[in-house]
Amino acid sequence: MDTSQYLDIFLDESKEHLQNLSDQIMELEQNPENMDTINEIFRAAHSLKGMAGTMGYKRMQTLTHDMENVFSEVRNGTFKVQPGMIDILFKSLDALEEYVNNIQQTTEEGTNDNQDLIDALNSILKNNGEVKVGDSASAAPAAPAAEPAAPKAESSTADGSGGKGERWQDIKINDTEKMLIEKAYTEGLKVYGVTVYVEEACVLKAARAFLVFKALEKLGEIIVSSPTAQDIEDEKFELTFSLIFISGNTADEIKDAVKSVSEIEEAFCAEYKMAAAPAKAAETAKVEVKAPEEVKAAVPAPAAAPVAPAKPAASTTKPTASAKPVVNRTVRVDIEKLDNLMNLVSELIIAKNSLISATAAEGKGDNNSVNEQIEYLESVTTNLHESVMKVRMVPIESVVAKFPRMIRDLSKKLGKKMELYMTGEDTELDRTVVDEIGDPLMHMLRNSADHGLEPNDVRIANGKPEVGSIFLDAYQDGNNVVIAVRDDGGGINVEAVRNKAIERGTVTPEQAETMTEKEIIDLLFLPSFSTAKKVSDVSGRGVGLDVVKSKIESLSGEVEVKNHFGEGSSWIIRLPLTLAIIQALMVVVGDEKYAIALGSIQTIEDVLPEDIKLVQAKEVIHIRGTVIPIIRLRNVLDIPSAEENSNKNLTVIIVKKGDKLAGLVVDELIGQQEVVIKSMGKYIKVPKMISGATILGNGEVALILDTNALI
Amino acid sequence: MDEVKVMDEQKRNASLNRPTERNTTQFIVTQLGGEQYGIDIKYISNIIRMSKITRVPKVPDYIKGVINVRGVVIPTLSLRLKMGLPEDEVTKRTRIIILTLEQHESIGVMVDEVKEVVTLDEEHIERIGYEKDEKERFLSGVGKADGKLISLLDITSVLSEIVDV
């Protein structure tokens, strides 16, 4: 079978299952008795195994199979979850992840059998089996299937999970179904109860069930099934389903029909005996005459088809699309298509802007209706833009979900007790940004765990709780998303950093003396600067924080550090929501128009020429107690134009970068506008102070100033 | 409507079942100073009238700036300055030829005038040897059509130098 077209789905779903497994096993570690968790784990492992099997990844299948066996035993109550077991399970998850990664890169799972893990898993099965249920020990290593150890329940109704039997006896029937059965009796047909067991390894259970239904419909009529036909269709059943069936054939014929479907392990069939007295049959038969229409309407799918056994009731098993449960109403879309959509929206916004400027040029006055329509258009484009942007947004959950596991492992490795608390996992960011922030965040968490938190004994000595806390908080703040990594450890020892910087020759002792705490902390972001006393596997190799910083900056974000020596530190990442469309202030310099991102603008000041002072041959102004350097855009941008009128008041835009300020002198302000950032192509090497271009309403191009590069 | 002209020429050639098996190339003939230059039609995606060029600071002088072509920002350069000729004088005949060498990467070049489309046989093209002066650096050959001489521009070498800058 050619499975390549399913590879994407397989990869996506495998990753989902693996993440789910990881989460659940974490949960299990905290809460070993929780049956829901165990069931969830079992289901996820089972699906994963099935998928791997279908795609022909044998090694992956084998490993998952053995994991599943362990869970199966836990679920059956044969033995309990133990810490050692959790470790092996985590290792197995890592191995599975490796398989998936290999598959993603090469479509092959690799050649690592992970025999040690399989052995470990089997020995869990074996040892616990010996201790708790003597008779299953011999079976475990040879045939690591779940059955041998599972309690073989003789009574079909008593045990829900393990036993096999004629479960159809549990089916409850309602009045309409009773009527149908009674009618069948009067027509001389027989009523059977059928219970079907699907093989454990079966991947497409719903499809098998469908085939069973199909086969049975040739022989008679299905009255009711448990679970319902809808649930069976949606694979909401484990390995078995039961139904009540009217037919003229014998029980054996029915049994054979069911078993003719492949991957069916077992089928039970026996005559169904109803408690109600057949005496009533004649009476109800009369009612039946006018009943069919009602029956159709009242009873959902399974029992719908009335009296025509010759014509198999196809409608009972046909998928009813509209009734599908809302499990996952999503569509996977290629990001390129979304980019395209975004471009079109940008075009629309540009067109709208040109309409505005065109009507403005036409002359103000009696075109109220045009203005109204433009306002309407404006609200539509704004909403459209927001919606398209939202489509591209994904919760950061996909990235941060792996962190609790990482902290758990770090805790063991470093021998420190610590807990990770996360909030705001549902905060959304542009897809392209989310894909990129995983590594920087991971690095910062590792830093907190390794350098931030003190060893447990030190913590106790300092009067702190023994278990260290790391917090990861994400939230939206205006047009930005803030992700903060915080710990309650020792904080950054500024003196240690200072000494280290001197020792390394990064700064001279004199320089170091005059540096502020913030400047010292900024040294940490320099390449190859690590203060960890010993290099550990976790961090301290001096690569990292500089990478973190450059990565965040490449996403137009920034990193900020807040340090409280002795109480911990927090690392705050601030990222823009989107990169494509920004609010900007349009200004005129000379006869050229420029856009300045609104986000970086602090205030706009009207400055008298005589208020400009010279400090160290640089122009500055003094505003509300702050000295702010002045940048004359006319000079910086080489604008060739007439002499400036030196007596005129200056319009100065105060922009900020971090906590630095600068005043940009412009000639005129146009106003605020939504601008679409366009790339200028690779044939032109733009200076750093230009971050891109945008198209104005009249079709002209205006450049966007990057004020960060100017300061 | 220069655009249309180009299209028509191509269509006509196609319908006349002319060329392709014979070694012919179509060139757009442009006027630049006193000379005529040919640009291989396969690189040309559009020819537009002079429009407002937005100057970009701190770039080489032959890059005139950027223009908006149907919502795409495209850098524009002056072929005159690039080839060491005097600065352009913008007239109503001035055109910007949009060249597209790779997918989604375009550049505009300013020329004094766009004249016509010629189809040249390989045998009517004289390749230029290794000795090239400043101007000839960007030429791939000289074509003869109706008794005129047309210098054929080697667009890739014109542009490759820009990318390196």
A480-498 burial by CB neighbour count: b if 16+ within 10 A, else e? bbbbbbbbbbbbbebeebb
The pLDDT tens digits for A122-151 are 887 777 644 333 333 333 333 333 333 333
Nearest to A703 among B52, B56, B72 (CB): B56
Tell whether A700 is within 8 A of chain B (Cβ): yes
Query: How confident is the model at residue A595, as a pLDDT?
Result: 93
And the tokens for A362? Answer: 């036409």
Q: Name chain A contacts of B65, Cβ cutoff 8 Å.
A: 701
Q: DSSP letter for A566, please.
A: T
Tell whether A678 is within 8 A of chain B (Cβ): yes
Average confidence score pLDDT of chain B: 80
Residue A147: closest CA among A183, A200, A210, A98: A200
Per-residue confidence at A241, pLDDT binned at 50, 70, 90?
A: confident
Q: How far B73 CA lies from chain A's nearest CA (Å)? A: 6
The pLDDT tens digits for A16-27 are 888 888 888 888
A610: left (phi over 0), alpha (psi -120 to 50) or beta: alpha
Q: Name chain A contacts of B75, Cβ cutoff 8 Å.
A: 680-681, 683-684
Active-site pick, A17, A20, A40, A46: A46
Q: How far A353 CA lies from chain B's nearest CA (Å)? A: 13
Nearest to B71 among A350, A686, A687 (CB): A350
Asked if the structure places residue B28 within a domain, the reply is: yes
Interchain CB distance below 8 Å, A350 and B67: no
Q: The tokens 């429009």 sit on which residue?
A: B51
Question: How far is residue A384's CA from residue A406's CA, in Å, rounded to a whole number?
Answer: 39
Per-residue confidence at A157, pLDDT binned at 50, 70, 90?
A: very low
And the tokens for B19? Answer: 């060329």
Tell whether A637 is within 8 A of chain B (Cβ): yes
Tell whether A348 is within 8 A of chain B (Cβ): no
Q: Is pLDDT at A301 greater than 50 in this prediction?
A: no
Q: Name chain B contacts of A679, Cβ cutoff 8 Å.
A: 73
Rounded to an integer, the average pLDDT of A338-360 is 80
Question: How far is residue A621's CA from residue A612's CA, in Å, rounded to a whole number?
Answer: 5
Asked if the structure places residue B19 within a domain, the reply is: no
Asked if the structure places residue B17 within a domain, the reply is: no
Interchain CB distance below 8 Å, A680 and B56: yes
Tell whether A685 is within 8 A of chain B (Cβ): yes
Nearest to A701 among B59, B63, B66 (CB): B66
Sequential DSSP letters for A302-370: GG---S-TTS--GGGTS--GGG---S-------HHHHHHHHHHHHHHHHHHHHHHHHHHHH-SSS-HHH
Nearest to B106 among A343, A678, A681 (CB): A681
The pLDDT tens digits for A41-51 are 888 888 888 88
Query: How confident is the model at residue B1, as a pLDDT?
Result: 44
Active-site pick, A17, A40, A65, A68: A68
Nearest to B73 among A343, A636, A680 (CB): A680
Asked if the structure places residue B11 within a domain, the reply is: no
Query: How confident is the model at residue B29, as a pLDDT?
Result: 93
Rounded to an integer, the average pLDDT of B89-106 is 84
What residue numbers bound the domain in which B59 lies? 24-164
Residue A415: closest CA among A454, A371, A378: A454
Interchain CB distance below 8 Å, A700 and B52: yes
**Chain B interface, best mutation among A684, A696, A703, A705, by max B CB count within 10 A:** A684
**Chain A interface, best mutation among B56, B100, B160, by max A CB count within 10 A:** B56
Question: How far is residue A468's CA from residue A451's CA, in Å, rounded to a whole number?
Answer: 12
Give the angle subtended at the CA of B7 by the CAs of B5 and B13, to the nearest 5°: 100
Q: Is-catalytic flag, A217?
A: no
The packing angle between helices A431-447 and A545-554, to 10°, is 160
- Find the closest chain B residue to A636 by CA distance: B57
Interchain CB distance below 8 Å, B107 and A703: no
Per-residue confidence at A14, pLDDT binned at 50, 70, 90?
A: confident
Q: How far B48 CA lies from chain A's nearest CA (Å)? A: 14
- Find the closest chain B residue to A346 by CA distance: B71
Rounded to an integer, the average pLDDT of A629-644 is 81
Domain total of chain B:
1
Interchain CB distance below 8 Å, A684 and B68: no
Please give the residue that has the higher pLDDT: either A337 or A621: A621
And the tokens for A85? Answer: 């077991």
Nearest to A683 among B51, B67, B159 (CB): B159
Average confidence score pLDDT of chain A: 75
| Burial (Cβ within 10 Å: 0-12, 13-18, ≥19) of residue A621 | buried
Nearest to A695 among B56, B71, B165 (CB): B71
Interface of A with B in 584-613 (CB under 8 A): 592
Asked if the structure places residue B8 within a domain, the reply is: no
**Chain B interface, best mutation among A701, A703, A704, A710, by max B CB count within 10 A:** A701
pTM: 0.47
Give yes or no for a cis peptide into A227 (omega within 30° of 0). yes
Q: Is-catalytic flag, A46?
A: yes
The pLDDT tens digits for A637-679 are 888 766 655 667 889 999 987 678 899 999 999 988 878 788 7
Query: How confident is the model at residue A669, as a pLDDT?
Result: 93
- What percent of chain A has a predicted confidence (pLDDT) above 70? 79
Asked if the structure places residue B3 within a domain, the reply is: no
Question: In this structure, what CATH number is given to the domain that contains residue B51?
Answer: 2.40.50.180
Please give the residue that has the higher pLDDT: either A331 or A222: A222
Q: How far B11 CA lies from chain A's nearest CA (Å)? A: 31
- Find the closest chain A residue to B74 by CA distance: A680
The packing angle between helices A35-54 and A58-75, to 10°, is 160
Question: How far is residue B65's CA from residue A199's CA, in Å, rounded to a whole number?
Answer: 70
Asked if the structure places residue B111 within a domain, the reply is: yes
β-bridge partners, B118: B27
Q: Is-catalytic flag, A68?
A: yes
Q: DSSP letter for A556, please.
A: T
Per-residue confidence at B132, pLDDT binned at 50, 70, 90?
A: low
Enumerate chain B positions whose Cβ falls within 8 A of a Cβ in A: 51-52, 54-59, 63, 65-68, 71-75, 105-107, 159, 162-163, 165
